[in-house]
Every structure is written in C-alpha cells, then in structure tokens.
Amino acid sequence: MAEFSRRQFLGLMAVSAAGAVAYSGCTPFPTRNEFLAQSTALIPEDLVKGVDNWYASVCRECRAGCGVVVRIDEGRALKIEGNPEYPVNRGGLCARGQSGVQALYHPDRLRGPMRRSGERGSGQYEDITWDAARQALLSPLRDTAGADTLLVVTEPLAGHRALVVDRFARALGGQHLAFESLPQAVVAAAVRMKHLKCIRI
C-alpha cells in the first residue's frame, strides 16, 4: 500500500474541494417552492417513503364496533385491517370497515355544516357557517330547556360518548334515550361465549 506524504495529502484535499465547488456551481439554486413543506394530507397516493406505523382503534362504520389496525404513513391513513387480537371480530373486517379510508378522504364527503334548501327528500342542501349551524341548533334547545319536554334519542352508546350525551341532555333539563331497532343482544351473548366462534353475515 502506497504511503502519502503530508504535502500529497493536502494537495489531494485541495483538488477534491475545488471539484466540489465547481460541481455545486453548475447546479441551479433551489427555487422557493422546493423549500416549502408538503402537506401530509395531500401527498400523492402512490408515494412510498418512510416507515409506516400501525395504530389500533375501533371501527364506527356500524354498531358492531370491530377492532381495527390502521396503517399510517407520513401522517396519512392508507389502509384499515381487522385486529386479530380483538375479541369481537378476531381479525375479520367487512367491506364497510375497509372503506373507512374512502370516507376519510373522499372528495364528496361533508366538509362542513349544511342546511336543507329544498323540500324534504329533494336532496338539496346549501353550505352554512359554523356560527349559523350553532345558532340553528341552540335556538330550539333554548326554547325547550327546562320545560321537561326535551328528549335526546340516539343509538346505544357506551363509554365517554354516552356520558357526554347524557350530561348534555340533563344540562338542558331533558333526558337521553338509547333506541335500537334491531337489538344486538343475541350477538353480544355469542361474543361473550368464548368457546364459540362468532361469524357475522
């Protein structure tokens, strides 16, 4: 192996530095747009970069409440799969649960409050501001507050959602009623029987 003298080493470093400066001088200076951070919600769908993360959650597309894991890459949800460790669905997930990503990013999704502008059933709506929506909601509630006539009807809720709705109804002098047209008591009982495998159809 050849040995370099101090003079040769310094000369080689000088030539390398000069080459690097000459090469960088040939490249154009980055424009302002190249310095802007790209929105993680608007990045191209086919862009693959970074390391993806999986987060466990619960599907709310229907009342079954199946366990899911969501694949997140660069802050964007890309895929929803069933959670194999969840006792309700044990890794299975229907098409409705799989479409949760489309509900999140679909261009026709509701982006804000809307008010019916035509006859009931006509499907005609107009965009309104959040202040107008809040006023339209609170005006009739103020009229019935304390009159013992307010009834908040929802599907069966659990956890913090049920607590929030119940406190909301009580604060206005009313009560909360959970109504379920098709009771899921049989499905819930089957899920509790761990020696049986529950199959949803």
The reported pLDDT for the residue numbered 34 is 47
Provide the residue ranges of all domains of the chain, joining segments of one domain with +: 53-105, 145-179
The reported pLDDT for the residue numbered 52 is 79
The reported pLDDT for the residue numbered 197 is 53
**145-154: Cβ within 8 A, 24+ apart:** 145/172, 145/173, 146/172, 146/173, 147/173, 148/173, 148/174, 149/174, 150/174, 150/175, 151/175, 151/177, 152/176, 152/177, 153/177, 153/178, 153/179, 154/178, 154/179
Low-confidence ranges of the chain (pLDDT < 50): 1, 27, 29, 34-35, 198, 201
Class of domain 53-105: mainly beta
